């Protein structure tokens, strides 16, 4: 990456992995091929993030809105999860990473949910690097669920209370949120946690988002001044 000593490495990077389908379409391939390429890139990118010294990486793999996509596309994605999730989970865990999954897994088919839960059960609970996958995830649903949980506990609703009840309650908020694929929005991803995150958008389709692309995003983050509302 160049002079690493001059860089300020974000503790937590979140990534909206957009463009898998368009990547496949450009190559006259089925969308499932794009999801497969994206999954391979996701795992390689997690390994690179760990090597950079990033402590947490959260990736947006499947939103609640994505669940309304055509059945054949969802079936293809579910097939990839069932075929490769445990293999990839074991690879990351062997490399010393902790694996987490956030979202409403009850929205997934039973066989897919079972595979995901098994992978998480195999993981370390604490590690220097945590790889967090958002599946069947929606930030608005997450916030509503946190409010309901606070009410059920009869707790005073404060920023601290709600923050602790988010899926990521024991993780630091993301310092940097990256979106690939050319769209410039958060699409219901980590809305509560993104309050003071630095945002980085790129036209690069996710399967083409190389390790060097992540280096460039981190370098851009390092050049920014974070004031958190202060002077």
3-state secondary structure 124-140: CCCCCEEEEEEEEECHH
Residue 58, pLDDT > 80, answer yes
What pLDDT sits at residue 219?
97
Q: Give pLDDT tens digits for 95-146.
A: 999 999 999 999 999 999 999 999 999 998 889 999 999 999 999 999 999 9
102: enclosing H helix or E strand: strand 97-102
pLDDT band for 231, please (50, 70, 90 cuts).
Answer: low
Contact by Cβ (8 Å): 15, 223: no
CB count within 10 Å of CB 103 equals: 22
What whole-number percentage of the chain has pLDDT above 90?
90
Q: 225 or 105, which is more confident?
A: 105
When pLDDT is averaged across residues 25-35 and rounded to a whole number, the result is 94
The structure tokens listed for 220 are: 């851009």
Going along the chain from its start, the domains and CATH numbers come out as 8-223 (3.40.1180.10)
When pLDDT is averaged across residues 198-218 and rounded to a whole number, the result is 98
What pLDDT sits at residue 35?
94
pLDDT band for 193, please (50, 70, 90 cuts).
Answer: very high
Distance, CA of 116 to CA of 133 (rounded, Å):
10
Angle of helix 211-223 relative to helix 31-52, nearest 10 degrees, comes to: 50
Q: Which residues are catalytic?
A: 18, 66
Residue 79, pLDDT > 60, answer yes
What pLDDT sits at residue 107?
96
When pLDDT is averaged across residues 41-53 and rounded to a whole number, the result is 96
Residue 4, pLDDT > 70, answer no
Lookup result for tokens 């050049």: 223
pLDDT band for 224, please (50, 70, 90 cuts).
Answer: very high
What pLDDT sits at residue 90?
94
Q: How far is CA 121 from CA 40, 58, 179, in A?
A: 22, 18, 29
pLDDT band for 203, please (50, 70, 90 cuts).
Answer: very high
Lowest mean pLDDT among 24-28, 74-78, 152-156: 152-156
């Amino acid at each position: 990456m160049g002079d690493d000593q001059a860089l300020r490495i974000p503790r937590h990077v979140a990534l909206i992995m957009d463009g898998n389908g368009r990547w496949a379409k450009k190559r006259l391939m089925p969308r499932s091929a794009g999801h497969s390429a994206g999954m391979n890139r996701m795992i390689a990118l997690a390994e690179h993030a760990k090597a950079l010294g990033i402590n947490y990486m959260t990736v947006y793999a499947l939103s609640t809105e994505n669940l309304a996509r055509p059945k054949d596309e969802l079936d293809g994605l579910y097939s990839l999860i069932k075929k490769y999730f445990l293999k990839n989970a074991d690879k990351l865990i062997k490399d010393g990473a902790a694996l987490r999954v956030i979202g409403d897994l009850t929205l997934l088919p039973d066989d897919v949910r079972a595979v995901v839960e098994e992978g998480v059960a195999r993981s370390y609970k604490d590690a220097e690097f945590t790889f967090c996958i958002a599946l069947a995830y929606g930030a608005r649903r997450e916030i509503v669920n946190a409010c309901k949980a606070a009410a059920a506990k009869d707790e005073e609703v404060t920023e601290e209370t709600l923050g602790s009840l988010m899926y990521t309650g024991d993780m630091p908020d993301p310092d940097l949120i990256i979106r690939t694929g050319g769209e410039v929005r958060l699409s219901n991803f980590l809305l509560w946690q993104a309050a003071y995150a630095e945002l980085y958008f790129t036209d690069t389709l996710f399967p083409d988002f190389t390790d060097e692309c992540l280096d460039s995003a981190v370098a851009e983050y390092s050049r920014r001044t974070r004031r958190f509302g202060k002077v």
